[in-house]
Structure 1
Amino acid sequence: MKYILITGGVISGVGKGVISSSFGAILKSCGIEVTSIKIDPYINLDAGTFSPYEHGEVYVLDDGGEVDLDLGNYERFLNITLHKQNNITTGKIYQTVIDRERHGDYLGKTVQVVPHITDAVQEWVERVAQKPVSESGKTPEVCIIELGGIVGDIESMAFVEAFRQFQFRVKRENFCVAHVSLVPQPKTTGEHKTKPTQQSVRELRGLGLSPDIIVCRSERPIGDSVKEKISNFCHVAPQQIISIPDLYSVYEVPVFMENHGMAEYLSKRLQLDITPLPPLRKYMRSWIELGERMKHLKYEVTVGIVGKYTRLEDSYTSITKALNHAGNEIGCKVNIKFIEASNLEATMLVDDPVAYHSAWHNLCVCDCVVVPGGFGKRGVEGKIEACKWCRVNGKPFLGICLGFQTAVIEFARNVLKMEGANSTEVNEDTKYPVVIDMPEHNTGEMGGTMRLGKRTTVFKPSAIRSKINRLYGSVDKIDERHRHRYEVNPEYIQEFEKHGMQFVGVDVDQQRMEILELDNHPYYVAVQFHPEYLSRPMNPSPPFMGLILAARDKLKSYLHKGCKLSPREPQSDYYDSDEELHDLTAKKLNVGSNEHDDSSSAYSSSSVS
């Protein structure tokens, strides 16, 4: 087993997750089986109880693991299925060691950070690295480990020490360190400053880990002179220093890194035996075509996301990715407007009329609307208003989780005339509890007690001609990931369906409503599960495909053609030669020229972060 450890320096949030994923994408393109582990140094057992404002969205895995959003990047880039054990936290490690101590496994010895905690980290990594991560059932050959935070954080010191020991445990030829560091360029001087990178590498080396590769993140490409300076002070050859500026899309990063000969270097450093490599356009073809397709989108669609956590866009990372996946497939650039749900509520007309009118203006100019999940009472009435507006005005709509529930509440109030209908999460004493909690998932504890992970949804026989069923390929059942504690009250289902709200998908016991669709509407679909978690760059999620197609008024023709798009021109037609691919051929690290760097455009830093 080979291991690549990704560490960070200077500041967090510079794109370690995307860079880790890109290492894996490059190796997978070369036929190497890859798995990934994310280490989060916080004491929480998992990310399930975090506010989205803390760490962005909570990503849910097949086995119900509530994990850091970086595991979403790993699954999207590598097209693999990970497990909750692929996310290590300080809390999990300490709980493991304490449980062992209680069972007497340490034979009365004093339990300490070294060796007991550090040994537990190493054992966990080795155990998880051996687990198959895809349907192929093959054991991975390379494990990519991302250490969250930055070197020097007190929370991560035990993990750094664990990997200092680990490099000798597995031997040098099986262990490689890549350090990701920010190289700022202050506007006052216009020069790239290397001192922060020097300091972080010095600290990493002082803790016993020497980087083999330094990945420099910056707004614009850094020059050879800057690389030479970093090389002199960081004990790393200039050929092993890679500059990654802000790019148009995160999906360009694997090709950009491989343009510097990353696969060849890793093959030699870790003795992977994947050389000689064919021309880059052959083994990285899908990534090259994806990047180019995103630059040649012909149309635009504006999507409104009516959410409760819109102050931090990372709260809806998987949704924005899923929208972009669908847009790329259809040929549409997706422009996203984040709309704070509470600003749509009538009370805001008095409290903050500017915010109220701005929110409604943004909603009205959108081509389609997504109402995503969330918890608690705040903003629910605003989501209900958004559902009503989409229903009444024939605006393409996709409700997810809480968005599914608010669509039900709105329909009950305004179509079934159930005044005050609500969810018991919002009003326990409502006269019409159309959304209720699931008793078996309401244990009084917050963490890990929801209906979590992959579950099967069965389409009713009557749903055979529904839009959503046809988008899924007219199948009998589907598997999607869930994260919820409330459900539609089955006592009201007959009344809803009598008036045009069809529950076309249910759980395997036919007790829980999973998918609804409105009659006589261009596209009004809501789902209790989270389809965004299984969306992939080259395999978009069907509900999101339907939404973008409906926004472009192309859904009918798409369904009529059997859910097939019009043939695209071959992506290889963008290039007549390897030179027009910006010399994108497999190279050694020392061939990466500054000319290529200078020709790369600088884009918003959020695209790679």
Structure 2
Amino acid sequence: MKYVLVTGGVISGIGKGVISSSIGTLLKTHGVKVTSIKIDPYINIDAGTFSPYEHGEVFVLDDGGEVDLDLGNYERFLDITLHRDNNITTGKIYEYVIKKERKGDYLGKTVQVVPHVTDAIQEWIERVAKIPVDVNDPSEPQACLIELGGTIGDIEGMPFIEALRQFQRRVGKENFCVVHVSLVPEPKATGEQKTKPTQTSVRQLRSLGLTPDLIIARCGGPINDSTKCKISSFCDIEDDCVIGLPDVSSVYKVPPLMEDSNLVEYFAKRLNLPLKRNRRALLRWRGLGSNQERALEEVCIALVGKYTKLEDSYASVIKSLRHSAMKINRKLKIHYIEADKLESQENDPVKYHEAWQQLCRSDGVLVPGGFGMRGLEGKILAANWARTNSKPYLGVCLGLQCAVIEFARNVLKWDDANTTEVNPNTNHPVVIEMPEHNTGMLGGTMRLGKRRTNFTTNKSIVRKLYHDKEYVEERHRHRYEVNPEVVQDLENSGLKFIGRSTDGERMEILELENHPFYIAVQYHPEYISRPLNPSPPYLGLLLASSGKLDSYLNSDWEPSPRSGC
């Protein structure tokens, strides 16, 4: 097994996740089976209880693991299926060590960070690196990308640094490569690329026992030769091991840029990897980056949410929209609309009118998932506007529940229809908490992970988008669902639930009769969208918003590799 450790210096959010994914893409496209591990030094057991403003979106895996959004990057770039243990946190490690101590596995010894915690980290990495990640190939991966979250020098990351220092000796230097990602700022006042921050972070990394083999220098523009020479000299590394990576317009341009820097040859030599040279391997990635820029016609989607001030809060949603836009050769424009701004003009009439103008100027409406009452009424109003104005609408998770509440209020005339999350005493509880998840705990208590949804009819836009499969398997993350007792009333009035769980009790997909495209799903299809294989519901929204849905559904297509039969 070969290991590539990716660390970061100077600041967080420097792009380690995309760089790790791109390195994995280089290796995979040249014949190496790759897996990934993300280390997050926070004490939380997992990402499940994070506010989206705190750490971006919570990404959900097939096995129900709620993990860091970088694992979404790995899955999308590498087209692999990861597991909850591919995300290591301080909380998980300490929980593991404490359980062993309680069982007496340490034979009465004093349990310490070194060696017990550091040993646990190393054992975890070795175990997880061997887990197959390709559903069609049960063999073990050949290389493991390890991304260490945070910045070198963070106090919470120290046990992991020490563990990785020991791990390097354990597996041998020939099987362990360190890639350090560092910022090279370019102050406007001087226009000069500064290397001191990189020198400092590399010095700190070395003081902790790890020496970088490669330095990825991140900068707004290309790194000039004098800067590379300076980093090489002061960081004691070969010139060709300093790789400049400027800001780019699309993340899909990163793998080709890294290939152009001869990193394929570097890793083949440094780790003695059996790479199968394929000069055409990254043509599809080069095409993705250029196609995105060449699109001339625009499609505009209103994303009505409650966390729109931070784009990472809807990372997978936005990427799914972009995958679909590239598929249909459209330039994507997103109107980010704070849902609560649609509700009332009393507090801020200017923002109220701006929000409604943005909604009305959009070609389609997307209401993504979320929790709590803030912005709920605004999302319901957006669903109502799309329904009554024949605008394409896609609701995801809470977006489905908002569509149901809106329909019950305005079509069935149940004025107080609501979700019991907001109003436990409503006379018309159309959305209720799932009984098995009423535990009083937040972390890990939702309906999580991959579940099967059976189609209940052959006449369905959604079923056609999924290439007429009998069922689909998608990932879930919710603890509220449509009340089965009101389903018949809703369907009698035209709101059809054309996809249900295997027991028939959970409403998974709704479709409105006599509407060009009014679709909502309880699951999160964005989690398994891929650049070359967009999520069908998102693709449908973009097609409908571009006026191309009918021509797509009536044309011949190749069967999709997405799960289902």
Provide Cα deviations, 1:491-543, integer angstroms capped at 9, x if missing partner: 11111111111100000000000000011111100000000001000100000
Supply the distance in 2 between the matched residues of 1:223 and 1:266 (Cα, whole angstroms).
24
Q: Secondary structure at the match of 2:284?
A: helix
The one-character-per-residue Cα deviations of 1:221-240 (angstroms, maximum 9, x if unpaired) are 11011000001111111100
| Correspondence for 1:448 | 444
Q: CA deviation at 1:298?
A: 3.0
- Counterpart-to-counterpart distance in 2, 1:143 and 1:493: 47
Aligned partner of 1:106 in structure 2 is 106
Say whether residues 1:464 and 2:455 are aligned partners: no
1:5 alignment partner in structure 2:
5
Structure 1 match to 2:324: 326
- Give the equivalent residue in structure 2 for 1:168: 169
Query: Quick check: 1:388 aligned with 2:389?
Result: no
1:180 aligns with 2:176: no
1:534-583 CA-partner distances (Å, limit 9, x unpaired) = 10001000001100000111101111114579xxxxxxxxxxxxxxxxxx
Q: How is 1:512-527 mapped onto 2 (pairs within 5 angstroms)?
A: 512-527=506-521
Q: Deviations over 1:437-465 (max 9, x none)?
A: 001012110000000000000000xx212
CA distance in 1 between partners of 2:494 and 2:170 (Å): 64
Q: What is the match of residue 526 of structure 2?
A: 532
Partner of 1:560: 554
1:233-270 CA-partner distances (Å, limit 9, x unpaired): 11111100111111120011001001011111001000
Q: 1:502 is matched with which residue: 490, 496, 503?
A: 496
AA in 2 matched with 1:47: A
Where do residues 219-234 of structure 1 align in structure 2 (5 Å cutoff)?
Answer: 219-234=220-235
Deviations 1:309-337 (A, max 9, x none): 11111000000000000000100111111
Alignment partner, residue 236 of structure 2: 235
SS in 1 for 2:131: coil
Give the % identical residues.
62
1:401 alignment counterpart: 397
- The correspondence for 1:412, drawn from 408, 411, 422, is 408
Distance 2:132 2:284 in 1: 24
State the alpha-carbon separation in 1 of the partners of residues 322 and 15 from structure 2.
19
The offset of 1:273, in angstroms, is 2.7
> Aligned with 1:480: secondary structure?
strand
* SS of equivalent residue, structure 2 residue 346: helix
CA distance in 1, matches of 2:281, 2:531: 17
Q: 1:68 maps to which residue?
A: 68
Partner of 2:478: 484
CA distance in 2, matches of 1:450, 1:564: 35
Q: CA deviation at 1:376?
A: 0.6
Secondary structure of 1:62's aligned partner:
coil
Shift of 1:292: 2.3
Amino acid at match of 1:11: I
Deviations 1:365-391 (A, max 9, x none): 111111001011111000000000000
- Give the residue type in structure 2 aligned to 1:429: N
Matching residue of 2:337: 339
Aligned-partner Cα distance in 2 for 1:47–1:466: 36
Over residues 192-228 of structure 1, what are the superposed CA-to-partner deviations in whole Å (9 max), with x where a residue is unaligned? 1000000000000010000000001111011011000
The answer for the alignment partner of 2:562 in structure 1 is none
Deviations along 1:291-311, whole A, 9 cap, x unmatched? 222222131111111001111
Say which SS state the counterpart of residue 350 (structure 1) adopts: coil
2:209 pairs with 1:208 = yes
- Residue 27 of structure 2 contacts residue 275 of structure 2 at CA under 8 Å; is this kept in 1? no
**SS of equivalent residue, structure 1 residue 309:** coil
Aligned partners of 2:405, 2:378: CA distance in 1, in Å?
12
- Please, which runs of 5 or more residues in structure 1 have no aligned partner? 566-609
CA distance in 2, matches of 1:551, 1:274: 43
- Distance across 2 between alignment mates of 1:475 and 1:168: 50
Q: Which residue in 1 is equivalent to 2:248?
A: 247
Is it true that 1:298 corresponds to 2:299 in the alignment?
Answer: no
1:285 deviation in Å?
A: 2.0
The amino acid of 1:217's aligned partner reads R
| AA at the equivalent of 2:477 | R
Contact persistence 1:65–1:452 (CA under 8 A) = yes
- In 2, Cα distance between equivalents of 1:190 and 1:318: 36
- Tell me whether 1:431 sits opposite 2:427 in the alignment: yes
Structure 1 runs (4+) deviating above 6 angstroms are: none
Separation in structure 2 between the aligned mates of residue 365 and residue 154 of structure 1, nearest angstrom? 48
**2:563 corresponding residue in structure 1:** none
Separation in 1, partners of 2:536, 2:66? 23
Deviation at 1:74, TM superposition (A): 0.2
For the residues of structure 2 that align with 1:224 and 1:395, how far apart are their CA atoms? Answer: 53
Structure 1 residue aligned with 2:309: 311
In 2, distance between residues paired with 1:57 and 1:295? 26
Q: Is the 8 A contact 2:32 2:274 kept in 1?
A: no
Write the distance in 1 (CA, Å) between the matches of 2:348 and 2:283.
Answer: 51
Q: Structure 2 unaligned runs (5+)?
A: 560-565
Distance 1:410 1:290 in 2: 38
CA contact (8 A) 1:470 1:563 kept: no
Q: What is the distance in 1 between the residues matched to 2:557 and 2:325?
A: 15
Match of 1:557, SS?
helix
Give the structure, 1 or 2, with the largest relative contact order (CA under 8 Å, sep 6 or more). 1
2:418 aligned partner, one-letter code: N
Q: In the TM superposition, what whole-angstrom CA distance separates every residue of 1:52-102 from its partner, at most 9, and x where no partner exists? A: 000000000000000000000000000000000000000000010011000
Asked if the contact 1:471–1:563 (Cα under 8 Å) also holds between the matched residues in 2, the reply is: no
Q: Which amino acid aligns with 1:57?
A: E
SS of equivalent residue, structure 2 residue 32: coil
CA distance in 1 between partners of 2:326 and 2:274 (Å): 35
CA contact (8 A) 2:5 2:148 kept: yes
**TM-score, normalization by structure 2:** 0.98
Normalised to the residue count of structure 1, the TM-score between the two structures is 0.91
Distance 1:453 1:255 in 2: 33
